[in-house]
Amino acid sequence: MSYRIITENQQLAEFCAKAQLSDCLAVDTEFVRTNTLQPKLGLIQLYAGDEVVLVDPLCISDWQPLDALLRAPTVLKMLHSCNEDLEAFASIGLVEIRPLFDTQLAAELGGMGASLGYGKMVEQLSGRVLDKSESRTDWLARPLAATQLEYAANDVLYLWPLKDLLISKLPRPELFDLLLAEGEQMISRRFFVLPPELKYLELKNSWQCQPRELAVLKLLCAWRQSYAEQKDMALGLVLKDALMYELARRRPATLEALAQLPDLHPRELRRHGQQILNLVSAAKALSPQQCPQTFYHLDSFRGFKQLQQDLTDAVQHAAKAADIPAAFLSVKRQLNEYLNWCWRVTDEERLLLPVPEYLRGWRRKVLLPYLPQPLHVQAIIAAQ
């Protein structure tokens, strides 16, 4: 197959100007994300129906032409399972990709199943079996082998022709508009993030912790997030979740006690030991009233598991009424986001949180008639 490698700003500008005349652009990225918080972009693949181009981001310094192309309202951007691609683009300042057509979601709405991989989708729709042997490539290495480049090119070459096939599988024409609306939600999601002091809410099973343990986790999570951003380190390389839970449970007061924790590497002890002790000490010094409570507004709280089930039932009923898959309407992250927003923060903290995705965009209209709405948030929901 033929493809062209772009290593110069002028080459990229010329391609983008030409691609602006197309009605559709297939897009993919290759990146490395092993030890860093942010993905390291290694390649960008673009195909507007004429030629496949592979953009080398290690050589490009002017992203304005691509930014303009990705924003162009007349060019549909096709990406498959694009959440990580959006992060990769954001790492070079490209944060708006509109209109966005996620082909994995289109396949789901078309009855092909949830979370369908790119290779399986191509095979089911076109009969083409793709070679995925280069999926573990180090995309920052240079030079890239011909087999690696061909693998990358295939990710857009066989994506572009599937647009009409995927659209034809949609049970109703209006679902295409729903896909574009979800594309908008995926773009806007990057602008709705938890403040550092509430990052502990994202920890799995943190709802099982006692207030004093939550106080420790709250300070540790905020510090870990800040440190990871400063050093561009994966969160788990700063402190693993399991270790933070152990710190919250034991609350050590000395370096000697800290060294007894089995999951604390000696390197981490040397690097962060005193900082960890200071944070644990600060959490221990809080009054009981200052500690985060496991849940608030207990008069309307039916228990975490019961509320999860109530929300799951609400999603099922709303999805059935809207005649869309429940997995398209909601994922567990979104469900827990709403539950946390309602019951796991104070009324003051709620003002610092992003509005839950259940209450934004197209989901609000679909879900709102079915959602449990405790009294203490009803006025906020009505005012949005």
Hey, what domains does the chain have and what are their CATH numbers? 4-191 (3.30.420.10), 196-290 (1.10.150.80), 298-383 (1.10.150.80)
Query: Looking at residues 4-13, what average pLDDT do you find?
Result: 98
| 177 pLDDT above the threshold of 90 | yes
pLDDT tens profile 357-382:
999 999 999 999 999 999 999 999 99
Contact between 144 and 65 (Cβ < 8 Å): no
pLDDT tens profile 291-310:
999 999 999 899 999 999 99
Neighbour-count burial of 29, counting CB atoms closer than 10 A to its CB (0-12 exposed, 13-18 middle, 19+ buried): buried
Q: What band does 135 get if pLDDT is binned at 50, 70 and 90? A: confident
**β-bridge partners, 29:** 44
CA-CA distance, 331 to 178, in Å (whole number)? 17
Mean pLDDT score of the chain, rounded to an integer?
96
Query: Looking at residues 79-83, what average pLDDT do you find?
Result: 97
State the DSSP code for 290: G
Tell me the catalytic residues: 28, 30, 85, 151, 155
| 40 pLDDT above the threshold of 70 | yes
pLDDT tens profile 215-243:
999 999 999 999 999 999 999 999 999 99
Query: CA nearest 265: which of 239, 227, 245?
Result: 239
pLDDT the model gives residue 384 = 86
Q: What band does 132 get if pLDDT is binned at 50, 70 and 90? A: confident
CA-CA distance, 169 to 183, in Å (whole number)? 18
Q: What band does 1 get if pLDDT is binned at 50, 70 and 90? A: low
pLDDT tens profile 334-346:
999 999 999 999 9
Rg, the chain, Cα only: 24
| 10 pLDDT above the threshold of 80 | yes
Q: What band does 99 get if pLDDT is binned at 50, 70 and 90? A: very high
CA-CA distance, 11 to 157, in Å (whole number)? 20
Residues 6+ apart with CB under 8 A from 152: 28, 30, 43, 45, 54, 134, 144
Query: Looking at residues 60-77, what average pLDDT do you find?
Result: 98
CB hemisphere CA count around 29 (13 angstroms): 23
pLDDT the model gives residue 216 = 98
Percent of the chain residues past pLDDT 90, beyond the cut: 93
CA-CA distance, 213 to 105, in Å (whole number)? 39
- Produce one character per residue of 311-332: b if its CB has 16 or more CB atoms within 10 Å, e if not: beebbeebbeebebebebbbee
CA-CA distance, 135 to 148, in Å (whole number)? 9
CA-CA distance, 162 to 144, in Å (whole number)? 27
Amino acid at 163: K
pLDDT the model gives residue 37 = 96
The token duo for 369 is: 């008639």
Contact between 63 and 93 (Cβ < 8 Å): yes
Bridge pairing between strands 76-79 and 40-47: unpaired
Phi, psi dihedrals of residue 53, rounded to the nearest 5°: -120, 140
pLDDT the model gives residue 190 = 86
Query: Looking at residues 82-90, what average pLDDT do you find?
Result: 96
